[in-house]
């Protein structure tokens, strides 16, 4: 189906107001995207504490009424590895803490082009290990821990799960991947169908990939393209959410099938009529409300 009416209206506004990606630098896009900061909704009633997660800045979100130690989600934000951060995803992380009845640790990994691959991957792993080793001091039940992220952050979440499998601990109960990039090499049909005018268009994708992966050979590395890993067995169970009108859709769908083929319990959910990035627009796009409600359900079920 085509974009639904609400999504089409939002995209039309975005396309009319976003700068052209042709000739734009990563730093210029980062400055533009800084306008998209989304503060927490007071109705979610969360407390926030900024911490140093082993040299990686992070922010802990907990529900105001939380008493005993809460299970924890380490969350990695999207932004194409070149933009966004804790502040851009504050609203989403607060909502996940509320709906998931958990704590969320939002990780502010280093960005490209100042810090190229694998800097973000290393920061993601460092932060996850810090949470496991130090979280109890902050009211976190680190025996119940999962990884989550959207877009580039979804990729970092599953790559971190794979590195933990290969390099040792901590135990990860689940991976929640919201429109992750899973294959930076294959030209999927969805990438061709939605290559222009759907926010994550081809020019923007190339801007991000050239900044983060200046060596083209690294695009096939399993830490950048987890679908290309030689072995996906032994990873945590997964929930993968994609948007129908998203260049990354087919890669996410394939990754879910690859996990299933490797014996991993992987649930795949595709939201119709929406575009890349929609999940942060809950309260405006009905499918975004459905997605964050589903994410909360997955978190609660995982930690039950």
Q: Which residues are catalytic?
A: 151, 246, 276
Instruction: List, in sequence order, every residue forming a beta bridge with 266; answer none if it has no partner.
Output: 238
Identify the three-state secondary structure at position 291: helix
Q: What is the DSSP letter of 301?
A: H
- If you count them, how many residues does the chain have? 304
**Parallel, antiparallel or unpaired: strands 56-63 and 266-275:** unpaired
From residue 156, alpha-carbon distances to 34, 76, 127 in Å are: 21, 7, 11
Selection from 125, 120, 122, 155 nearest residue 251 by Cα: 155
Backbone angles phi, psi at 46, to 5 degrees: -115, 150
Please list the residues that pair with 263 across neighbouring strands: none
Residue by residue, DSSP assigns 89-139 as GHHHHHHHHHHHTSEEEEE----TTTS-TTHHHHHHHHHHHHHHHHGGGGT
Is residue 156 within 8 A of residue 149, CB to CB? The reply is yes
Rounded distance between C-alpha atoms, residue 153 and residue 78, angstroms: 5
Q: Which residues pair with 104 in a beta bridge?
A: 61, 73
The phi and psi torsions of 172 (rounded to 5 degrees) equal -115, 125
Q: Where are the beta strands (DSSP E) in 64-101?
A: 70-76
The dihedral sign for the CA sequence 116, 118, 121, 123:
negative
DSSP H or E run through 246: none
């Amino acid at each position: 189906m085509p974009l639904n009416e609400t999504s089409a209206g939002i995209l039309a506004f975005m396309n009319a107001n976003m700068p052209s990606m042709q000739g734009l630098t990563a730093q210029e896009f980062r400055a533009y995207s800084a306008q998209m900061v989304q503060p927490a909704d007071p109705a979610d009633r969360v407390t926030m504490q900024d911490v140093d997660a082993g040299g990686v800045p992070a922010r802990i979100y907990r529900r105001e009424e939380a008493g005993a130690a809460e299970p924890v989600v380490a969350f990695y934000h999207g932004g194409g590895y070149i933009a966004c951060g804790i502040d851009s995803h504050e609203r989403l992380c607060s909502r996940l803490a509320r709906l998931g009845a958990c704590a969320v640790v939002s990780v502010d990994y280093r960005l490209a082009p100042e810090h190229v691959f694998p800097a973000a991957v290393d920061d993601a792993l460092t932060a996850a290990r810090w949470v496991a080793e130090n979280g109890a001091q902050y009211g976190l039940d680190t025996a119940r821990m999962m990884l989550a992220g959207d877009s580039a952050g979804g990729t970092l979440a599953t790559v971190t799960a794979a590195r933990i499998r290969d390099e040792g601990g901590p135990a990860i109960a689940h991976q929640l991947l919201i429109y992750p990039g899973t294959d930076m090499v294959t030209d999927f049909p969805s990438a061709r169908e939605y290559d222009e005018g759907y926010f994550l268009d081809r020019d923007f994708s190339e801007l991000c990939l050239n900044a983060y992966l200046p060596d083209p050979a690294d695009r096939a590395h399993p830490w950048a393209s987890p679908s290309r890993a030689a072995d996906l067995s032994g990873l945590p169970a997964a929930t993968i959410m994609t948007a129908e009108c998203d260049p990354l859709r087919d890669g996410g769908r394939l990754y879910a099938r690859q996990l299933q083929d490797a014996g991993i319990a992987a649930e795949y959910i595709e939201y119709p009529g929406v575009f890349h990035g929609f999940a942060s627009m809950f309260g405006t796009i009905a499918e975004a409300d459905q997605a964050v409600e589903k994410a909360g359900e997955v978190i609660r079920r995982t930690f039950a």
